[in-house]
Structure 1
Amino acid sequence: MAVAGQTFGIVGALSAFPRRLVAREVERQHGHVRRGVTRQTTYLVFGRSLLAKSSEAEIEARFDAEHSSGRWLISENGFLRLLGLMSVPAASALSRQSLIDQARLSPRIFDLLSLFDAFEHGSEPYSFRDLILARKYAELIASGASWSAIARSVHRSGPVASLTALSLHHGGTDAIYARSAEGLSELNGQLLFDLDTPDDAALEDLFDLAEEAEANGDYLEAAAFYQRYLAMDRTDSVAAFNRANCLKAAGRELDAAHDYARAIKLDPSFVEAWFNLAGLMNERGRIDAARRHLGKAIEIDGDYADAVFNLAKLEFDAGDLAEAKRWWTRYLELDSDSEWARTAERGVQYVDLQSRPRTG
């Protein structure tokens, strides 16, 4: 699929290639890279660093949530192949289902391992080496190994295809070992494409600290971390957006408005930034600005129900009942079952009632 027009989110640091170089290539191909997930994210890349920073349960929960949202989930190597930065190895004609059936590997485990590049190929058709790897992984799972322990271990010995010549063993720990005549040895070789720089690592650590502080409600501390991050990477619209949210939560509305505007300047299609800035403007009594920003959010994403509802309410409060009805009617096309939909229905009924000619 072409990169142009697609928005790529990345969760976790990339191990196979520096993030800044990948982002540059995506932009060159007229796509967009955004940290984490926004409404416009079409592809979500799972960085291998998640294996070190998140538990297996946390990764599975993220996998399930993002998969159910309809986004394309891809691995680091899958991302690089999509960009043309990594060649696709020669393949045989094995289908995904055939590989799973022959290896007797759970489809869910297969998908999770694939997401962290535990196979030579990231998609159909698969090779005979992929089948060998799948069988080895199935044996490890049967011996009590977790899929995450396998995923953490397989990249320690170079290309995963090299594991086909090894006898893999799970010893009751989180590590996978190779058995040879000399006994067990760890798969502790250097990562094949470990090109990360200290600056990349520092950026990832800063963003993690900011997110943690934000999640704990330490909004000013989080804003300070995001600001340090933005001093190192001035191009990250999500960091600016997150900082704006923290500043707003801390009561610093003017500073928040500045950072929402910064996020929009960095990414004019950042619909959530337009929406949140509209809410801030509305709270400060700047109705015309709020109306413009909500209109922009809807122009970018015509199915953004929250923006449609808020614009209807804004018009109602401003006394423009016809516009309020128009937007509430549109909202009901997007949502007909929630409590917000009941409110929209009552709004439409009220406008209709007010529009009836009065009789003496």
Structure 2
Amino acid sequence: MAVAGEIFGIIGALAAFPLRLAAREVERQHGHLRRGVTRQSSYVVFGRGLLAKASEAEIEARYDAETDRNRRALSENGFLRLLGLAASPATSALTRQSVIDQSQLPPRVFDLLSLFDAFEHASEPYSFRDLILARKYAGLIASGASWSAIARSVHRSGHVASLTALSLHHGGTDTIYARRPEGLSELDGQLLFDLGTTDDAELDDLFAQAEAAEEAGDYDEAAAFYQRYLGIDRTDSVAAFNRANCLRAAGRDMEAAHDYARAIKLDPSFLEAWFNLAGLMSECGRVDAARRHLKKAIELDGDYADAIFNLAKLEFDIGNLGEARRWWIRYLELDKNSEWARAAERGVQFADIHLLPRTAD
């Protein structure tokens, strides 16, 4: 199964399918779905709700950041088809490059429009209808429309394939219109799949408000929003983790520890939760607990450089130079050039000097 063992991150609210149903199906297929993206995420689903919450520049930056980390970006339709919850339209043999060459649509614009399901297909092979759409979009771009305005507008008509029969027009606004005999009209129409619920919308809104408060540094308010969210969905490990981070930033360490533990209970493979809980335990002087949590994070990901460095420093601070040296050497296998690497090198040198008299016989 393509989904088994994979971890999916969600950015933005889903428009075509409720998140809870998608999560249930991913778990049924032995994968994992999280709201937000973590170190272990191998796929990132870009929900169309992101178009209403983030600017074009913010979306592009996030897309670049995730693909630079070798994560596969999925559109909503691409995600549903991967899960087997939606059938692919009839395909043709058109490659991505062929559609770009024949339509003259800029490659980056083409990829971003694919990411938000502005074509019949979310990836190769593309259909002849997709080529027609690409040519229409290229005309809109040439007239001054932005890719995000196109992506926001096209789903108002229902299935995007219906746009192939329309003459699309951009009049200098952030909306795309259809030119009809009676004049210009918006692309409004009942969506084919209106499966969302009030609870889903409320959850999305609460999570967005929590993230905004957290970004603004209003950590108590953000924690309150995350708590309201968790009161509706008690299974979201990312919300528990985010709340723990806010509580920690607000100086509410005991509550933060509780929510880190809650995130771990919900998802025992949540690396960042193990790591941040270890940092909190270390700050509170609970060295044994911090060591256990760091080792758990490293057990889950043997290349987790930050956890390895922190474990080396923890051992160094309490005088376990041999263990500190072992972990710093491991860190230097992963990082040879940063400021942290230079600190690790100094740590190894210090340990060598002080351990030498004990081993020289």
What TM-score, normalized by structure 2, do the two folds share?
Answer: 0.98
CA contact (8 A) 1:46 1:73 kept: yes
Q: CA deviation at 1:53?
A: 1.4
Equivalent residue runs for 1:9-24 within 5 Å? 9-24=9-24
Matches of 1:217 and 1:53, distance apart in 2: 19
Q: CA deviation at 1:355?
A: 2.0
Q: CA deviation at 1:60?
A: 1.2
Q: Render the CA deviation track for 1:194-242: whole Å, top value 9, x for unaligned.
A: 2111111111111111111111111111111111100000000010001
Equivalent residue runs for 1:294-309 within 5 Å? 294-309=294-309
Matches of 2:317 and 2:52, distance apart in 1: 50
Matches of 1:189 and 1:274, distance apart in 2: 47
Q: Give the corresponding residue for 1:283.
A: 283
Q: CA deviation at 1:166?
A: 0.8
Q: Give the corresponding residue for 2:117.
A: 117
Q: Give the corresponding residue for 1:2.
A: 2
Q: CA deviation at 1:74?
A: 0.6
Matches of 1:254 and 1:228, distance apart in 2: 19
Equivalent residue runs for 1:28-107 within 5 Å? 28-107=28-107
Q: Give the corresponding residue for 2:324.
A: 324
Matches of 1:225 and 1:158, distance apart in 2: 34
Please give the secondary structure, in 2, of the residue aligned with 1:33.
Answer: strand
Q: Give the corresponding residue for 1:148.
A: 148
Please give the secondary structure, in 2, of the residue aligned with 1:123.
Answer: coil
Q: Give the corresponding residue for 2:232.
A: 232
Q: Percent identity?
A: 79
What TM-score, normalized by structure 1, do the two folds share?
Answer: 0.98
Please give the secondary structure, in 2, of the residue aligned with 1:345.
Answer: helix
Number of residue-to-residue matches in the alignment: 359
Please give the secondary structure, in 2, of the residue aligned with 1:356.
Answer: helix
Matches of 1:215 and 1:122, distance apart in 2: 32
Matches of 2:357 and 2:66, distance apart in 1: 51
Q: CA deviation at 1:28?
A: 0.6
Matches of 1:305 and 1:165, distance apart in 2: 54
Matches of 2:195 and 2:18, distance apart in 1: 6
Q: Render the CA deviation track for 1:16-37: whole Å, top value 9, x for unaligned.
A: 0011000000011111111111
CA contact (8 A) 1:210 1:221 kept: yes
Please give the secondary structure, in 1, of the residue aligned with 2:357.
Answer: coil
Matches of 1:10 and 1:111, distance apart in 2: 18
Please give the secondary structure, in 2, of the residue aligned with 1:238.
Answer: helix
4+ runs of 1 displaced by more than 4 Å? none
CA contact (8 A) 1:155 1:192 kept: no
Matches of 1:147 and 1:135, distance apart in 2: 13
Q: Render the CA deviation track for 1:296-330: whole Å, top value 9, x for unaligned.
A: 00001111111000000111112211111110000
- Matched residue type, 1:161: A
Q: Provide the alpha-carbon RMSD of the alignment.
A: 1.1
CA contact (8 A) 1:275 1:293 kept: yes
Matches of 2:74 and 2:81, distance apart in 1: 10
Tell me, yes or no, if structure 1 residue 208 matches structure 2 residue 243.
no
Matches of 1:67 and 1:192, distance apart in 2: 30
- Matched residue type, 1:262: R
Q: Give the corresponding residue for 2:253.
A: 253
Please give the secondary structure, in 1, of the residue aligned with 2:37.
Answer: coil
Q: CA deviation at 1:357?
A: 2.9
Q: Render the CA deviation track for 1:37-80: whole Å, top value 9, x for unaligned.
A: 11011111111011111111111111111121211001000000
Matches of 1:152 and 1:284, distance apart in 2: 48
- Matched residue type, 1:53: K
Q: Give the corresponding residue for 1:26.
A: 26
Matches of 1:173 and 1:116, distance apart in 2: 20
Q: Give the corresponding residue for 2:184.
A: 184
Instruction: Give ranges in structure 1 of 5+ residues lacking alignment.
Output: none
Please give the secondary structure, in 2, of the residue aligned with 1:145.
Answer: coil
- Matched residue type, 1:172: G
- Matched residue type, 1:153: S
